[in-house]
Structure formats: structure tokens, C-alpha cells
Amino acid sequence: MIEISNLTKSYDGQIVIKNCNAKIHDGSINGLVGENGAGKSTLLRLIAGVLKADSGSIRLDGEEIFESPNAKAKIFFLADEPYYGKNAHIKDLTTLYTCFFDRFTPEEFKKNLVRYQVDIDKPLNSFSKGMRRKAYLAAALASHADIILIDEAFDGLDPYSRNEFKKDLIELIAKNPKTTVVIASHSLRELGDICDSYSLVDNGQISDEFVQAKNLHKVHLAFGDSVPSDLHELQPIAVKRDGHFLVVVTDATEVKIRAFFAPYNPLMLDIVPLTVEEAFIYNKEREML
């Protein structure tokens, strides 16, 4: 388990992460979400031990990560723009990761590359960003690291490769229940069908408000006669009216929603789950109320 305690990090006097506290449990695919500049990339680098915190700690199974080579050896970190040498080839990645990870499997790496349609004979600097991304994602899966941290996992990937990588991650967790994956992404739509937990980075802190926001319901209604005007009892986050049609977003339970609207005899009452993207947007709107 990753434990973050009272973590603070600043650049040139500007605080990016402030007094963060969080736990990321084993066997999860955690979506790290937040607005641009919220500190997601900085947090990943802190967890990976690439950056040193100004204060506080990050521990992996009780070990302080920044001070422990043993803890760092369990972590595969893929930055948004990973460094590679000017003349580096796929074989150089194989050599590099074989040195860093005891369980790295070159055969599996090559197999993943073929499935992701990566040309293993070309230098990395001839690849597009998306093609390089696929090469490093293939390496991440073949590393068999206990912790896999990925910044903008889906950036530049074609639809086929995105789906293949998602399936591979799910299979990885199924085979290795202690493996933990943390994905920071600005594409919230891509996280909704793969992540089982989320962490919201907002104003330099990590909170569980986004998890709470995922409990919101979107209610679509149609009425033959009068449309209810007073929705205060449901404490709606958002309301959209269009004649006899009504859309309400609320964190009230489904039972309460149906009981509230029953006296109005709606012609239609449909309660649908929010997408991850909608949950994030409505959570921000709730903060501004």
C-alpha cells in the first residue's frame, strides 16, 4: 500500500502539493484526476521517488520511498515525455529495463510490441509520440513491477491500442492481485471503464470528494401536466428545464428520488449513472455553489 502523509512540495516558492494525505491500496487501478496544473504529474514523480518532498512522507509497505532503493525498485514510472537517447532502439529499452527490474520479461515485451504494432527495428526518435507511448506501455506491462505509475497513459494512442492496453491492465491485476496501477489522465472518458478507484488532486491536495461525486444521479423526467418547481428537498447540484422535460443531478438515493417525484405522476423517470467526466464536472460545480 502507498501511504502519503502530510506531503508538501513547492517550486520556486510556489506550493504545488500542500499537506496531502492519502492511501492507495494494493490491487487497484487508481485514476488520478484533476484540472491542468493541479499537481498530478508532480505527485506521480514524488511517489516514484524522482522528486524529494519539502516535508511529509510517501511510504510503500512502510518504507520511505525516496530514501529506499528497495522501494524504488518496485516502481515503474512512465512520464508523459520519457527520456530516451538520440540513437536509442527497442533493444536498448530491453537492456535498460532488464537491469532495473528483476522480473522484466524480454519475451513478453516483444510480444506486447507486436500486438501494439510497434516496429522494433526503427529508432525511437523516428516514432510518433503515440508509437513511442506504445513501446513504453509494452515495457511497463513486461516489467511486472509492484507499482506502475503512468502519466497521460492514453495520449496519442489509437483506439485499438487503447483498448488492448486497458484489457492488458485488467488482466495484469487479475493475475497479480497485489499490483497497483496509478494513471494520471486529462481524458476522464478513458478512465471510466478501467479504474476501480479515483483520487482527486485539487488546490494542491488529494481529497475523496470526487469519489463522493460519483454517487450522484442524473434523473431524466417528462411530465404531462405540471412540472415541479421546488426541488429543494433533493438538494440538486444541477437542474435543466425544457417545457415538460426536466433533468436533475442530485446525490439523493434512488428510493428518495422516486418517492419525491411519484405524486407528480411523471410520464418518464429515468435514473442514469454519470460518466467519470460528468462526475468531475458536477463535483466542481458543487464546490462553487
Q: Give the span between the Cα atoms of 208 and 277, in whole angstroms.
A: 16
Q: Is the pLDDT of residue 197 over 80?
A: yes
- The residue assigned the cell 415541479 is 228
pLDDT for 166: 92
Span 98-135, pLDDT tens digits = 999 999 999 999 999 999 999 888 899 999 989 999 99
C-alpha cell at 110: 516483444
Domain ranges for the chain, please list them: 2-207, 217-273
- Compute the average pLDDT of residues 2-10: 93
pTM over 0.85: no
Give the CA diameter of the chain: 72
**CATH code of the domain made up of 2-207:** 3.40.50.300
pLDDT for 276: 74
Span 45-94, pLDDT tens digits = 999 999 999 999 999 999 999 999 999 999 999 998 888 888 899 999 99
- Compute the average pLDDT of residues 275-279: 76
Q: Is the pLDDT of residue 10 over 60?
A: yes
CA distances from 216 to 74, 110, 147, 197, 274 (A): 36, 43, 31, 16, 7
Burial profile 214-248: b = 16 or more Cβ within 10 angstroms, e = fewer: bebbbbebebeeebbeebeebebbbeeeeeeebbb
Q: Give the span between the Cα atoms of 131 and 214, in whole angstroms.
A: 33
Span between the terminal Cα atoms of the chain, in Å: 35
CB 143 within 8 A of CB 76: yes
- The residue assigned the cell 405522476 is 265
The DSSP letter of residue 251 is: -
